A and B are shown apart, each in its own frame.
Chain A
Amino acid sequence: MAIKFVLNGQPVSVDLPGDTPLLWVLREGIGLTGTKFGCGVAACGACTIHLAGEPVRSCQTLLDDVAGQSVTTIEGVSGQAAQAVQAAWRELDVVQCGYCQSGQIMSAVGLLSTTPRPTDAEIDDKMGGNVCRCATYPRIRAAIHRAADMMEG
């Protein structure tokens, strides 16, 4: 039976087994590939999306779990925090290979939505699950602070 949820503001209906990880539903079922596969075991954050506005790992979220809920991916993320984060990321040229960055941005938007002016310790804590093998961490930290400034300004 098809499972219905709201994806980036639009209702969708997916006819896949309910125990399919949302990551693969998004990428291969629906064709939204901005959400990345990095580890499949909740250890890298590349697959981070927002479920009812909260950052979660889509590799550990089953299709069943999102029935009737609202899912946002990098392709659909919007609002003041998202705009500030993306602008700060570009201003500071955070990206290298870019593969982790969808997940970094989704986590950063989640962080700033609840903590508009995070400390370094809060950033370390809330971003600690997002791996960047290119080690762009110092720039991510700086860009989160920059985005916080933009949101105030």
Chain B
Amino acid sequence: MTVQTSRRGFLKGIAALSGVALVVGFDAKGALAAAPVGTLDLNPFVKIDGEGIVTVVLKHFEMGQGTSTGLATLVAEELDADWATLRTEFAPADGEKYQIVGFGVQMTGGSMSIWNSYMQYRQAGAAARAMLVEAAAAQWGVEPEAVTVEKGLLKAGDKSAGFGAFVAAAAALIPPESPPLKDPAAFSLIGKPDLKRRDNTNKTDGSAVFALDVTLPGMVHAVILRPDRPGSGLVSFDASGAMGMVGFLDAKALPNKAGVAVFARSTWTAIQARNAVTAQWDTSAAEARSTDRMVEEHLALVRGEPSYQVREGGDLSATTAALSGAVQVVEAEFTFPHLAHAPMEPLNCVIEPTETGGVRFHDGCQAPGITQGAVAHVLGLTPDKVEVNTVFAGGSFGRRANPTSDYHVEAAQAFALFGGKTPIKLVWTREDDIRGGYYRPMAAHRVKIGLDGDGKVVGWDHRLAVQSIMKGTPFEAFAVKDGVDGTSAEGVSDSHYAIPALSVGLSDWTSPLKVLWWRSVGHSHTGFAMEVAMDMAAKAAGQDPVAFRLALLEGDDPDRKRLAGVLRLVAEKSGWEKPAAPGRFRGVAVHKSFNTYVAQVAEISRSESGVIKIEKMTCAVDCGVVVNPDIVKAQMEGGIGFGLGAAMRNRITFTDGAVDQWNFPDYVPLRMGDIGDIDVHILSSVEAPTGVGEPGLPPSLPAVANAIAAATGDWPTHLPWSENGLSFGA
């Protein structure tokens, strides 16, 4: 062995010395583990350097839902770290280490980030704290119990020092198996209403980096020419029109015939060049139907015999018998359009070659666990050779998590086509986003509710038709049971109302169209059908909509109690008992999704010419223990606005299989004047925390529809409302 005396080796030694740090995470078996930096085979959740700076490693990405603040809060709380100097960084792609607890994949979705991290991140913080305390106690010659920690400072008697003084000694200790966690009564950060978001400075001065902002030396820009009819295959193309454009580099067919990759020196040139490329498509495998026909087919399915009965214990013959004995039967049909997610930052990512023969993505990456496998497959690599540098994502609403990792695969194909040595930035324009598929599926529901002479529900026949999101994807294995995609009827099939003789029938509509989860997934339509139908039943029964619901939520069942809890709270906060002000009309809805309970009251006005304005939404939410109350409120506000914007005006339609819409002028997003105040109230709870990114959405649509019915006498059951006889104004 030769002694390394070169200057380079010397510098390396210094770097390692000054890089002393305490790293705490979990080993492969899920046990708490700690190590000095660089030596470990664990998933670091907390890193503390020699200066005492705490870095929280985020296994979930940040699309605006506040997870970076939430996970940092969990660690800082138990570690008693200094919130002001704490840092965060996104975890690298490593599905073993950073998977969702109990889910096996590294991704963000299903409103899972906080609840699946709640114990993990607190334990990591608590373990780091215990080790620092033990190291300090040993050095100071006191009992660990005598050491206190506050805002990154350890103290015992007249001695005090920052974390940095003890990281080396602490790193040599064995982490406690189960460090004591704080009693919630002692929380100083968790539940604090005025804790600020960690990303509110860089997102207000233009310095926050999104994937679209990443530039690498020598980077080439690519856009893809896609067919008008999703699912068509490329036959041939002609790029001669782009030849000679300054900055145009090349155009090549994607190997799967899904499109033509157009390469240029800048995004703008790539877009211009693409406009000059023409292509022939084989449409034989593409969708050929138009929207009207699709709607008819969905309605035919719900008017016929369902393929599956999806309510546990549901029995259609019992329901039919109950309905035939009913004094009155309420009937309604509902239709829901295809919807685009349209996150504010159009899809894009940067791919570059790595020194080890792999690739690295720079992306607001929602599902590194899926991206690694999908890209490795395309490029003939092993998944560990696909690295991901996660940056901020400009929204997602479900779109950035795709079972096929579609835009990463496109980028990988473009990268390979261009020679595999040049960094490529792949950009979707807004037109690509609106026209490029992966829509919230169209859906139809048909409901028949039987009431007895006292206005009590005696039977409920609920049928729905929708294209399965999960079938044909890698998620089919766990999400589809006995042919039933659990996400199709969620929210109806598992309704907690005490409805006698409830049966839920599901039929799949099938199409080559690509569909995807869209904020709140199945609940985005089931919540509406369920809660509007409930309102119709209440009206038919001549009862107050809140009282009618509460009667079906009586008893000790924990779900019913929590649904009733938010319903009572929203009734109180909205002043439901008092009549609405003149010219104002109210509607109510309550729905559980992603284990979170949300009730809302919408208050609308209607002008003499019939123009509707959503004046105020009052919202009550029970999501268990609240980590960041203001972020919970923000997510309720966001879910409500996202849902109502779509309900008012959005639909993706098809003419002979081709998408009709282009961009925001004809897929009109919610705007400032469309919505008034949103008043959110959080029910205090000691239950385990649950998600908030999606559950604000489902009750917002029916609450407004029920308010519209209060104004007009008619429920707007076909979405979007602006295409079905209603107009909305500022």
Binding site for B on A (CB under 8 A): 17, 20-21, 24, 27-29, 31-41, 43-44, 46, 73-75, 86, 89-90, 93-102, 105, 123-125, 127-141
Contact = CB atoms under 8 A, between A and B. Distances in A.
Nearest to B675: A137
A134 B267 contact: no
Given A36-B212, A41-B664, A139-B634, 14 more contacts: A27-B213, A31-B215, A36-B345, A41-B665, A44-B344, A75-B205, A89-B200, A90-B200, A90-B204, A95-B203, A96-B395, A98-B199, A98-B394, A100-B344
A74 B205 contact: yes
Contact of B204 (A32, A40, A46, A101): A101
Across the A-B interface, give the 6 residue pairs with the lowest CB-CB distance, nearest first: A34-B206, A135-B641, A99-B394, A98-B203, A97-B64, A96-B64
A28 B427 CA distance: 13
By secondary structure, the B interface counts as: loop
Nearest to A33: B213
B634 A96 contact: yes
Interface stretch (B134-142, B153-161, B487-495, B666-674): B666-674
B638 A34 contact: no
Nearest to A106: B206
Question: What interface size band does chain B fall in?
Answer: 35 or more
Contacts of A46: 344
A138 B395 contact: no
Interface of B: 62-66, 196-197, 199-210, 212-213, 215, 221, 246, 266-268, 271, 342-346, 392-395, 397, 429-430, 630-631, 634, 637-638, 640-642, 645, 663-665, 669-678, 730
Contacts of B397: 133
27 contacts: A24-B268, A28-B221, A33-B212, A36-B210, A37-B267, A39-B663, A40-B430, A43-B663, A43-B664, A86-B204, A90-B196, A90-B204, A94-B200, A96-B634, A97-B62, A97-B393, A98-B202, A102-B206, A124-B730, A125-B673, A127-B672, A129-B671, A131-B669, A131-B670, A132-B344, A134-B395, A137-B674
Contacts of B394: 36, 97-100
B213 A133 contact: no
Contacts, number: 177
Contact of A39 (B201, B266, B664): B664
Given A96-B634, A124-B730, A128-B673, A34 B205 contact: yes
Nearest to A130: B672
Contact of B207 (A34, A40, A137): A34
Contacts of B634: 93, 96, 136, 139
A21 B10 CA distance: 51
B343 A133 contact: yes
Contacts of A134: 64, 344, 395, 638, 641-642
A138 B210 CA distance: 24
